[in-house]
Amino acid sequence: MRHIATYLFLSAAFLSCKNDPRPSTDDPALFREKPTPASTVSDPILLPKTGAGNFESLVADFEDKDRGIWQKPELVISFLGDINDKTVADIGAGTGYFTFRLVPKAKKVIGIDIDPRFINFLDSVKVRLPAVYRDRFESRLARYDDPLLQPGEADDVVIVNTYAYIENRDQYLKILYKGIAAGGQLLVIDFKKNNLPVGPPDEYKVSLAQVERELNAAGFKISKIDKDMLDYQYIILATRPAKPNIEH
């Protein structure tokens, strides 16, 4: 997997740190959204100083203040159903756009990335979470060829805007399959091939049909496909069958 960088865009929940750097530890609301016009969903988070290369510029390249409008994160997460008692892994977590939206809903969330700078970033956000959520979140530095999930560790896995950057996906998906509990779900969201105003160039995208083929080959069963809910992305929900349909 090449370097994964997701968009820098966290809600005003802890991004009001300009005025109050730490949210109240007894406040169960992770995201205290402010009413905003449609064109300004939230304020950007202030990057911690990493001292490691051009990290700030790297993240800023992926920042999109309108992402909440076209990404529709709450609708995307709703595809997983009730995750109150589940462990969810976010592969390619980056700055935690989905990771920290999952934390209030799941029993545990594992934010996985292959770049230690993003792991440090996730950890810097964790310390600012309300106390009730800190123990639910774990960051994990993985390898480009292995998400480093224990067998059956994750009930659900989400891969958003990252699938196309995974190399040797046939082998990677077979490894990932083992890290998902029997009956667990894999949610893949990535960009359509259509010269879109957001996302990477078409040559760096993977078609919906190809994702279907690769997931099926790895043993997953496609349970839902949506090509219309998001303007720029397709959504695929797959499951790991309780009984495997191929040998791993």
List of the chain residues with pLDDT < 70: 1-66, 68-69, 199, 244-248
Identify the bridge partners of residue 89 per DSSP, sorted by sequence position.
110, 157
> What's the pLDDT at 198?
77
Give the up-direction half-sphere exposure of residue 28: CA atoms within 13 A in the CB hemisphere. 2
> What's the pLDDT at 178?
97
pTM of the model: 0.76
**Three-state SS for 233?**
strand
> What's the pLDDT at 23?
37
Q: Does domain 12-239 have CATH number 1.10.1740.10?
A: no
> What's the pLDDT at 242?
85
The string of DSSP codes covering 102-117 is HTTTSSEEEEEES-HH
Where do the structural domains in the chain lie, given as residue ranges? Answer: 12-239
